[in-house]
Structure 1
C-alpha cells in the first residue's frame, strides 16, 4: 500500500503542474460541479439553462454576486443551499477546506499541498499555514454565527422562524464572504432605512474584507502599538476609504430623485449613503438603485471596486495596501526620497515592484475585458465599464447590463470574474518567486514623462 502511495506521489510530481495552475483547476472544477448541481430540477423553481447555472456557479465560487436571474424566486431551498456552500468554498478558499479536512482526519499536509495553500491564501512563505487556516475558520464561523443571530432579530418576526433563520444564515454567509447574493428582489433595498440590516451586513463584509490576518492580529495584540504594519495600513486605509466614500456619495446623490432624493427622511439618506460607501469594496449588496446614480458617483464606485479589500480576505480588487503603497511611492518620488517609511517601518524596493506589477496587470485586464465586451454589446459604455469593473473586483454591483448581454458577453464576464478571483493569486506566485539573473548588463538610461 505504501509503495502504491509513493508511486502516486511520484506520478503527481512528474506532472510538474505549478501550484497556481492546480489552484485554478480546483476553482474551475468547483464551478463546473456547482453549475451541474444548480441545473438539476431539484435546485430550481423554474427551469434554467445549463449556461445560466454555470454563470451563477461562477459568480458564487468567485464570490462576485452578479446574476442573470432573481435568486430568491428562481432557485429552490436546495439550490439556494448549493449557492451558499459555493460562496463559502470560494470565499474562504478551496484549499483551506481541504487542509482542514485532512488535518481532522490526521493526514499530514505535504509540501505540494502547502504550496497550493500558500497561493490560495496569498502568502509568500510556507510558515504557519495550518495555524492561519484555523484562524480563518474560527473568525469566519464566529462572525457568521453572530451575524445570523443579529439578522434573525429582523427577519424572524417578519417571516417566521424557519424562513427567517434561513434568510439570516444565507445573507450572513453572503455578506462575510463579500459575495453580494441576496434572496430579495432589488437586493436589500427594502431595508434601506433599517438600522440592524445597515449595521450587521456592512460589519460582516468589512470584517471579511479586512483579512483574516488583520482580524487575528487585532484579537491577539489588542493594542495599536503592537499591531503589525500590515494591520495598521489596512485599518487606516479602510477607515479613510469609508469616510471618503460616505461623504462623497452623500454630497453627490443627496438630491438625486433616483437614489437618495426619493428617500423619506435624513436618517434614511444617511443610512443609504453609509451602505453605498462600504458595499462597492467587493461586497455587492445595494439598498438604492445603482442604475440611477450620477456618472460622477458611478466613477467613484468603480474606483472603490478596483481597490477592493485586504490580502487573505474574502474580498477582491487590487487591495487596500496596494493603493497605499502606490500613494506612498508617488509621494516619495516627488520628495526625492529613496526609501519609503510608514509607521516607523521601511518598505523595500521589491515590495514597490510587486505593487506596480499587480496594478499594471489588473489595469490591463480591465481594459482588455472592457474592449472585448464592447465588441459584442453596443449599449451604454459607462454601464459596460461598470459591469467589467464589478466582475474583475468580484463585487457584484450592476447597472443592469448583466441581463442585456448576449452569450458571448456573459461568457466574457464569467472569464473576468474567474480571473478576478484566481488571477491575483496566480500573479502572487510569480511575485513571490525570485529569479537570479545569470548575466548582468551595463546600466542604461531612458527618458520618462
Structure 2
C-alpha cells in the first residue's frame, strides 16, 4: 500500500534527479538533443532509483541525505543557470523540501515492503512533473524540451518495469501493457525531430497505464491507508481533480517548443490548455497559425478528454481489462455520468463512447469531403475535417481557420454539418439514443421530453430574432437563404459551442443581449455543453408558471416535480448568476474594457461557450487568470454543485414552525 511516509520519501527522492537532468543533461545542447548523453544519464538515475526502491530500511538519516543532495546537487547548479532569478529557484527547492517533510511527519512508520514498487513508480512520475514545472518556472526556455526527455525516460522505465513485474502472472494485462508500449514506441519516428515531445508522450502513456497498476487495483477497505481515497471516492472532488490535472498536463505539453511555430508565453499555453480541456474555445493565440501540427494534436486530445471527461475514459479502460469496480468507485462513476442504476454503468459507458465516436467519425468524413470540395488539399481537408468534427461534437469552438467559420458563411452544407454535430453533442448520449422513439411519438423519459422541448424553443426563437435583427448588421452582405442558414447556425452555436460564421463586431446590441441569456442557459445535462443547463431553465420557467397559476406543486408533462429537484435548480441558477457577477466585477476592476464586453467575456467563459466580441484579445495576465478560473468553474461548477447537494443528508425539520414571508 502507499502511505504518506512512502509518498513523502518518493517526493524527496524525485527532487534531486529532476535538478540533475534539467541542468546537466541540457547544458551545451541549446540547438537540439544529443541522444546518448541524456539517455546514459537517465539510465544511471533509473538504476539509482531502482536501488533506492529496493532498499529495505528507510531511516531518517537517509531522507536527510536525499534532502541535502536536492539542495547541493540541484539548487546550486540551477541558480548558476538562472543567475538572474535565484529567488524562484530557492522558493521552489524550499517548497519541495518542506512539502516532503510535512508529509513525512504526518505519519511515522516503516514503509511496507509491498509498497516500495509503487513508491518508485510514483516517485518517478512526480519527478517528471517536477522537472517540467522547474523548467517552466525558473529555467531558460530552451531547457524545457530537453529536460523533459531525460526524466520522461526515467519515469517510463521505472513504471514499465514495475508494471511488467506486477503483471507477470496476468497474461492478459501483460499483453495489453506490451501492446500499448509497442504502439507508443514508434512515436519518435512519427514526430521526426521532435524527439523530446515524442518520448514525453511515450512516458505519459506508460504513466497512465501505471494508474491502472498501482491505484485502481488497490482495495478500498482502509481509507486512511491510501492518500487518494478522499478524492477517488468523492465524485465532486474527483471531477475537479481530474480536470485540473488534465489542464496542468496540457499546459505543460503546449509549453514545449515543438508545439508552436515560435516562442509563446507560458500563461498563453496554459490559457489554451484550460480553454481546450473545459471545451470553451476562448483563445489568445491563433490555433491555425501559432500552433504547429503537434500543438494542434495536443489541443484536439485535450478537447476530446475534456468533452467526455477523463473518468469516462479511465473507467472504460478499467472495465476493458475485465476488472470489477469497487463499490466506492462504482458509486462515484454512477453519479458522474448521471446513471442511477449502478448495474447499468457498463451499458451507459458503452452508449456514451458509441454515440461519441460514431458521430465524430461520420462528421469527420462529411466535413473532410466538404473542405476538399471547397478547395483544400486532401491532407488538409482530412485534418481540418477531423479537428472540426471533434471540436464541434465536444462543443469546444476551436477551429483551424483564423476567422473560425466566417469563410464558410456561404456554404450551408458545412454550417449545417457542424451545427448537427453541436446539437448531438449538446443533447447528450442518453437523449440522442431516445430520439428515434421521441420522433415517432413513442413514450420516452421525462428528461428527454423536457430537454427536447426546451432545446427546440431555444433554437427556434433566437434564430427568428437573429434573422430580422441582423439583416441590417452582420447579415447585411448575405442573401436571404444565407441569412436563414447563418441565423440557424448562430442560434445553435451561441449556447454551447462558440463557432461564429459572422463578424461579432457588427452585431446589433439586442442580439448581444439574447446571446448573453442563451450562453447562461447552456446545453443539456450529461452532454459536453456548459451553462446552468436546459432542464434547470425549464424547471425555473415551470416554477414561475405554477406561481402565476397559484398551484401548490410544479408539473411537467403530467408528472409532479419533487421539491428537492426544484431547490437544486434554484441553487444552481442562483450560484451561477452570482459567480457571473463576481467574474464580471473582477474583469471591470482589473481590465480596461466596457461593461458589455466584460459581462460577455465572463458569461462566455462560465458557460464554456467561447464566443467573444473582442474582449479576449484585450486581457492582460491578470485578466487571463480570471477568465481561466471562470472557464474551469463553468466546466465543473454546476455538476460539482449538484453532486455536493446530492451527497448531503437532509436534516429533519419536522419540529420547525412554519411562517410566511412577504415577497414581491
> What is the alpha-carbon distance in structure 2 between the residues aligned to residue 287 and residue 296 of structure 1?
18
Segment of structure 1 superposing worse, 404-413 or 434-443: 434-443
Match 2:591 to one of 369, 377, 385: 377
Aligned to 1:269: 483
Q: Deviation of residue 225 (structure 1)?
A: 2.9
Match 1:191 to one of 404, 408, 415: 408
Residues 123, 405 of structure 1: alpha-carbon distance in 2 compared, 3 angstrom cutoff: farther
Matched residue count: 446
Match 1:218 to one of 414, 435, 455: 435
Q: Does 1:138 align with 2:361?
A: no
**CA-atom RMSD, angstroms?**
2.0
Match 1:238 to one of 433, 438, 455: 455
Aligned to 2:626: 412
Work out whether residues 92 and 314 of structure 1, in 8 Å CA contact, stay in contact via their aligned partners in 2.
yes
> What is the alpha-carbon distance in structure 1 between the residues aligned to residue 331 and residue 509 of structure 2?
44
Residues 127, 357 of structure 1: alpha-carbon distance in 2 compared, 3 angstrom cutoff: farther
Q: Deviation of residue 93 (structure 1)?
A: 1.1
Q: Does 1:358 align with 2:575?
A: no
Q: Deviation of residue 436 (structure 1)?
A: 3.4
Q: Does 1:424 align with 2:641?
A: no
Match 1:29 to one of 227, 232, 245: 245
> What is the alpha-carbon distance in structure 2 between the residues aligned to residue 138 and residue 64 of structure 1?
23
Q: Map 1:89-104 onto structure 2 (within 5 A).
A: 89-104=305-320
Work out whether residues 339 and 347 of structure 1, in 8 Å CA contact, stay in contact via their aligned partners in 2.
yes
Q: Map 1:267-416 onto structure 2 (within 5 A).
A: 267-416=481-630
Work out whether residues 119 and 426 of structure 1, in 8 Å CA contact, stay in contact via their aligned partners in 2.
no
Work out whether residues 493 and 499 of structure 2, in 8 Å CA contact, stay in contact via their aligned partners in 1.
yes
Q: Deviation of residue 438 (structure 1)?
A: 5.0
> What is the alpha-carbon distance in structure 2 between the residues aligned to residue 422 and residue 207 of structure 1?
20
Q: Deviation of residue 426 (structure 1)?
A: 1.1
Q: Map 1:434-445 onto structure 2 (within 5 A).
A: 434-438=648-652, 440-445=655-660
Q: Deviation of residue 22 (structure 1)?
A: 2.4
* Superposed CA offset, 1:175-218 (max 9, x none): 00000000101100000010211110000000110111101223
Match 2:446 to one of 229, 253, 256: 229
Q: Deviation of residue 403 (structure 1)?
A: 1.1
Q: Deviation of residue 219 (structure 1)?
A: 5.0
Q: Deviation of residue 344 (structure 1)?
A: 2.3
State the structure with more CA Rg: 2
Q: Does 1:204 align with 2:397?
A: no
> What is the alpha-carbon distance in structure 1 between the residues aligned to residue 438 and residue 615 of structure 2?
45
Q: Deviation of residue 124 (structure 1)?
A: 5.7
> What is the alpha-carbon distance in structure 2 between the residues aligned to residue 311 and residue 55 of structure 1?
26
Structure 1 spans left out of the alignment, 5+ residues: none
Larger RCO of the pair (alpha carbons < 8 Å, separation 6+)? 1
Question: Secondary structure at 1:97's aligned position in 2?
Answer: helix
Q: Deviation of residue 224 (structure 1)?
A: 2.6
Q: Deviation of residue 8 (structure 1)?
A: 8.9
> What is the alpha-carbon distance in structure 1 between the residues aligned to residue 456 and residue 652 of structure 2?
45
Q: Deviation of residue 303 (structure 1)?
A: 0.7
Aligned to 1:446: 661
Residues 119, 59 of structure 1: alpha-carbon distance in 2 compared, 3 angstrom cutoff: farther
Work out whether residues 339 and 348 of structure 2, in 8 Å CA contact, stay in contact via their aligned partners in 1.
no
Q: Does 1:61 align with 2:277?
A: yes
Residues 127, 350 of structure 1: alpha-carbon distance in 2 compared, 3 angstrom cutoff: farther
Q: Deviation of residue 342 (structure 1)?
A: 2.1
* Superposed CA offset, 1:290-312 (max 9, x none): 12211111010111111111000
Question: Secondary structure at 1:159's aligned position in 2?
Answer: coil
Residues 132, 101 of structure 1: alpha-carbon distance in 2 compared, 3 angstrom cutoff: same
> What is the alpha-carbon distance in structure 1 between the residues aligned to residue 376 and residue 534 of structure 2?
38
* Superposed CA offset, 1:75-128 (max 9, x none): 111111111110000101110001111111122222332343234324566452
Question: Secondary structure at 1:71's aligned position in 2?
Answer: coil
Segment of structure 1 superposing worse, 411-420 or 9-18: 9-18
Aligned to 2:106: none
Residues 352, 394 of structure 1: alpha-carbon distance in 2 compared, 3 angstrom cutoff: same
> What is the alpha-carbon distance in structure 2 between the residues aligned to residue 207 and residue 150 of structure 1?
15
Structure 2 spans left out of the alignment, 5+ residues: 2-112, 116-217
Aligned to 1:87: 303
Aligned to 1:148: 364
Q: Deviation of residue 156 (structure 1)?
A: 2.3
Residues 139, 335 of structure 1: alpha-carbon distance in 2 compared, 3 angstrom cutoff: same
Q: Deviation of residue 281 (structure 1)?
A: 1.1
Q: Deviation of residue 44 (structure 1)?
A: 0.7
Residues 53, 119 of structure 1: alpha-carbon distance in 2 compared, 3 angstrom cutoff: farther
Work out whether residues 171 and 182 of structure 1, in 8 Å CA contact, stay in contact via their aligned partners in 2.
yes
> What is the alpha-carbon distance in structure 1 between the residues aligned to residue 513 and residue 330 of structure 2?
40
Work out whether residues 210 and 310 of structure 1, in 8 Å CA contact, stay in contact via their aligned partners in 2.
yes
> What is the alpha-carbon distance in structure 2 between the residues aligned to residue 13 and residue 405 of structure 1?
38
Q: Deviation of residue 338 (structure 1)?
A: 1.2
Work out whether residues 470 and 507 of structure 2, in 8 Å CA contact, stay in contact via their aligned partners in 1.
yes
Question: Secondary structure at 2:442's aligned position in 1?
Answer: helix
Question: Secondary structure at 2:361's aligned position in 1?
Answer: helix
Question: Secondary structure at 2:586's aligned position in 1?
Answer: helix
Work out whether residues 261 and 292 of structure 2, in 8 Å CA contact, stay in contact via their aligned partners in 1.
yes
Residues 156, 349 of structure 1: alpha-carbon distance in 2 compared, 3 angstrom cutoff: same
Normalised by the size of structure 1, how large is the TM-score?
Answer: 0.95
